[in-house]
Amino acid sequence: MENLAVEKRFVVSSSPHVKTPETVQKIMIDVLIALVPAVVVAAVFFREKAIIPIVICLVAAMATEFLLIRKGIFNDGSAAVTGVLLALTLPPGSDWWLCVIGAVSAIILGKYVFGGLGNNIFNPALVGRAVLLASWGGRMTAWLSPVDLKSTATPLAEPGQAALVDLFTGNVAGCLGETSAVALLIGAAYLLYRGHINWRIPGGYIGSALIMGTVMSAAGFGFDITMGLWHVLAGGLLLGALFMATDMVTSPVTPNGQLIFGIGCGVLTMLIRIYGNYPEGVTFAILIMNAVTPLIDNATRPRFYGEVKK
């Protein structure tokens, strides 16, 4: 046995001895890349009223995380994602202090009170947004028209009024990231291609909202089959369905669970939009579904190989 000491340059570790090149940081960078189209569109429509909040949120989120754990300013990249996502849920021209409070809340209340990335129950960006929405409701719904940057109402205040084509391209009032459907879809297509999201959560979310929007429009606003599509394209639904609900940490891991989660988000969003006090329901719909994610995972555990029913 004495030769062991001589040859101790050989590493002994548990199998497997090969690992995928994929890392948490690379996934987060891909999410940032996927958000680029939405950021660019926001910058085109709202100019400095978009760029300044995005930069402030990004820097504030990363700085908060750095001050908390001091592991490099970029670290795993999740703080940067949270910052950008939060900014995209803010109205154009949000005050700097609103951005900072949102970002700090997102990182601390959304993530670190639970123990950091991976342990958080709620989507951090949405926690930040919820804090702002509860505290400064007026400022959080002060919309600007992308045409002349003057104050206007969100299209959700008057369902069915905005043209679908404007909703699709982004030529409507709304939060920075929720105006252009096409930019969000391009980003989501990239995430799909890279394998970071799958169709189940967005599909369940958008599908259930589409069906509910169409059916419920018959009850509330006169039957109109385009109302379903309108509900999908208006407001933050696509941003939520493609980038918020698909957050890995706070959504189920089982295939069936993901579908249930998506459908739950869609149903709750529509219920809040149509019957709730808020014009928009995406934030709270996703946060509520985040809370029941562990239950969904438990209930949808796959049948293991060779499982025999007892």
Partner 1 sequence: MTIKTFKGGTHPPHDKPAANKPIVTAKVPSRVVIPLSQHSGAPCEPLVEVGDEVKMGQKIGDVKAFISAPVHSSVSGKVVEIAPHFNPGGSSPMCVVIESDGKDTWADDVKPKKPLEELTGEEIINITKEAGIVGLGGAAFPTHVKLIPPEGGLEALILNGAECEPYLTCDHRLMVERAEDMIYGAKAMMKALQARKCYIGIEVNKPDAIAATRDAIGGDSTIEVVELEVKYPQGSGKQLVTAVMNGLEVPSGKRSTDVGVQVSNTGTAIVIADAIKTGRPLIDTVMTVAGSGVNESANILVRVGTIFTEIVEQCGGIKENAAKIIMGGPMMGGAVPTLDFPICKATSGVLIFTKDEVVMHEILPCIKCGRCVDVCPAFIMPNFISNAGEQNNHVEAKKLHVEECIECGSCAFVCPAKRPIVQWIRLCKSAIWAMSSK
Nearer to partner 1, 12 or 165 (CB): 12
CB of 200 to partner 1, least distance (A): 10
Does position 9 interact with partner 1 (CB under 8 A)? The reply is yes
Q: Work out which of 39, 53, 57, 76 binds partner 1, going by CB under 8 A.
A: 76
Q: Work out which of 8, 219, 222, 277 binds partner 1, going by CB under 8 A.
A: 8
Rounded to 5 degrees, what angle do the CA atoms 62, 68, 73 make? 35
Cβ neighbours of residue 275 closer than 8 Å, sequence gap 6 or more: none
Q: 88 with 240: CB under 8 angstroms?
A: no
Does position 203 interact with partner 1 (CB under 8 A)? The reply is no
| Alpha carbon distance 247, 241 (integer Å) | 10
Does position 70 interact with partner 1 (CB under 8 A)? The reply is no
Does position 251 interact with partner 1 (CB under 8 A)? The reply is yes
CB of 189 to partner 1, least distance (A): 19
Does position 307 interact with partner 1 (CB under 8 A)? The reply is yes
One character per residue 100-129, x = contact with partner 1 (rule: CB under 8 A): ---------------xxxxx----------
Q: 245 with 270: CB under 8 angstroms?
A: no
Does position 17 interact with partner 1 (CB under 8 A)? The reply is yes
Nearer to partner 1, 129 or 196 (CB): 196
Nearer to partner 1, 43 or 249 (CB): 249
Total residues contacting partner 1 by CB under 8 A comes to 47
Write down the residue that tokens 């295939």 correspond to.
Answer: 255
Does position 310 interact with partner 1 (CB under 8 A)? The reply is no
Does position 254 interact with partner 1 (CB under 8 A)? The reply is yes
Does position 194 interact with partner 1 (CB under 8 A)? The reply is no
Does position 196 interact with partner 1 (CB under 8 A)? The reply is yes
Q: Work out which of 3, 134, 165, 222 binds partner 1, going by CB under 8 A.
A: 3
Does position 273 interact with partner 1 (CB under 8 A)? The reply is no
Does position 253 interact with partner 1 (CB under 8 A)? The reply is yes
- Residue 144 tokens read as 């600007």
Does position 256 interact with partner 1 (CB under 8 A)? The reply is no
Q: 168 with 233: CB under 8 angstroms?
A: yes
Residues making contact with partner 1 (CB under 8 A): 1, 3-4, 7-20, 22-24, 26-27, 76, 115-119, 196, 248-255, 258, 297, 301-308
